Chains A and B, each alone.
Chain A
Amino acid sequence: MTFRLTCPVCGKRDVYEFTFGGQERGPRPAQEGLSAEEHFRWVQFRLIPGGCETREEGASRADVREPLQEEWWYHGQGCGVWFTTTRDPMTNREVEGGGGG
């Protein structure tokens, strides 16, 4: 099933009008003192929870991300805006009210 994303300019549109821009990773780490390893980790490594329970020892629930993912999209076949929205990888749907960021 296809689904719709909320473009901040155009409203709800078919997902195939958009280009996926990846998980929101926070600001790029400061270049000063950045090791190559830290840089590659920031570029490529991700946690993509699948709704499994958390491990009990050594990690509190707060340490573990919820499956919901904040991510970038580009409305290439529409107004051309880049924006962030929240989607649930378990259902492959935008979270209600998640768009338009």
Chain B
Amino acid sequence: MALASAAVNWLKLRRLWRPSPLKRRYDTVIIGGGVHGLATAYYLARNHGIRDVAVLESHYIGFGGSGRNTAIVRANQRTAENVRLYDEGLKLWRVLTDELDFNLMFFNCGSLLLGHSEASTGAFRMAASTHNFMGVHSELLDPQQCAEVIPGLDISDRPRFPIQAGLYHPPGGIVRHDAVVWGLAKGAAARGVHIHQGCDVRGIKTDAGRVTGVRTSLGDIGCNRLGIMAGGYSTAIAAILGIELPIHPLTIQAMVTHPLKPFLHHVFSSTAYHVYANQTLKGEIATGAHMDPQVNYTTDATAYYLKHQAEALVELMPALRGVRFMRIWAGLADMTPDMAPIMEGNLGWDGLYLDAGWGYFGFKSGPVAGKYMAEYMATGERPEMLKAFQLKRFLENRYSGETPAVMKYGHWD
């Protein structure tokens, strides 16, 4: 009996955060219990003393993109405005591990992006110059140097698209994505934030040009400020208010092989093969990158991409032939035309904030986006860091030049 109650106490002590009673009104309501929503709530409470905050999550925290990405973090974006933001984000993992008193398992293994054409080699040279100018460590490698970094790579002429160059970025790595969600929930809840899981937003209430609350599956909740931070579902939430956005929610697939002995000590990705891969701390090769081109809100995985991914991986790293995939899953990526996010305040209605369009950069940017969105929501003033990410850039033909940083994701462009 004593043993049983000791076990119960131990379990109680191990809980990171506890459910809170649902109040009918909060100062600030955030839609989306992923990395972005939880980070915003955490920083609202920590940096700005705004603790009357609710995070509404329709499933469980980390159900969406936060728990479905391949956990890669890096700061080798294309443009200076983006590099600056992601660089600060990359430096936050160590700080947060300490601040949250929770091991986020940041594995600083570095990443290597492979290029297979003269055009990508030129793009890498430009990108590396931008990174170095911004103080971010990044260097251009030739194929031989790529093979020295990752010995398993096939740098011969045998693959359909032979490796011609590499963009090596030592500050990058992998972070345990679930730990980030749990750690931020712990930190936010400890500062008074209420996290409500299973709370599905069905309507947004407005009055005289202001947001006044949300209608949810758990009843109406009033608020002064509302943040839409629902990842791939943000377009669906915005559609409630009739807000048109230049965002396509697309399904992106990822998969893991069975566990192998440690042999791959860096993240690698490839432009021509549309692949990124890393070996997790459990030994699996986690790999992904494929996007179905049609707009949808499902997380369907397909045999088509499973096969495609296997072919691409074996081309790049022939030793993987015969390794089996163990699991496949999918998540949503909210793609903007220029691959840069949209961070807006007082969007059509006073008190309405939007943090969306992160595409497949949503995980690595989560904490830093939360930090600046919290500042934006707390002060009502757009932080200098977010000036480059306004929605109106799409109406003024001032697109961010981020597109060369990643692969083509659709067929219509």
Contacts and interface: CB of A to CB of B under 8 A. Distances in A.
A1 B244 contact: no
Given A47-B239, A92-B294, A37 B244 contact: no
A50 interface: yes
B242 A59 contact: yes
Contacts of A53: 202-203, 215, 240
A16 B396 CA distance: 35
B32 to A, nearest CB: 13
B235 interface: yes
Interface in A1-51: 1-2, 15-16, 19-23, 36-37, 40-41, 44-51
A90 B297 contact: yes
B395 A40 contact: yes
B242 A63 contact: yes
A101 to B, nearest CB: 16
Interface in B198-219: 201-207, 215
Contacts of B294: 15, 20, 71, 87, 92
B394 interface: yes
B236 A54 contact: no
A91 B298 contact: yes
A54 B301 CA distance: 30
A97 interface: no
Interface string A56-75: 11110001110001010000
B293 A20 contact: yes
Contacts of B162: none
A98 B412 CA distance: 21
Contacts of B202: 52-53
Contacts of A15: 294
B122 interface: no
Given A2-B302, A37-B395, A53-B215, A22 B240 contact: no
A91 B207 CA distance: 33
B246 interface: yes
A89 interface: yes
A49 B295 CA distance: 11
B410 interface: yes
B412 A51 contact: no
B215 A44 contact: no
A1 B304 CA distance: 9
Contacts of B395: 36-37, 40-41
B310 interface: no
Nearest to B239: A49
Given A57-B206, A64-B242, A50 B293 contact: no
A47 B204 contact: no
Contacts of A91: 298
Nearest to A65: B239
Contact of B297 (A47, A50, A55): A50
B249 interface: yes
Contacts of A92: 251, 294, 296-298, 300
7 contacts: A36-B396, A45-B244, A48-B239, A54-B240, A90-B296, A90-B297, A92-B297
Given A46-B235, A64-B242, A71-B295, 19 more contacts: A2-B300, A2-B303, A23-B295, A36-B395, A40-B394, A45-B245, A48-B236, A48-B239, A48-B247, A50-B233, A50-B236, A50-B297, A52-B236, A56-B203, A57-B205, A59-B242, A89-B297, A91-B298, A92-B296
The 4 closest A-B pairs by CB, nearest first: A50-B236, A44-B246, A45-B244, A20-B293
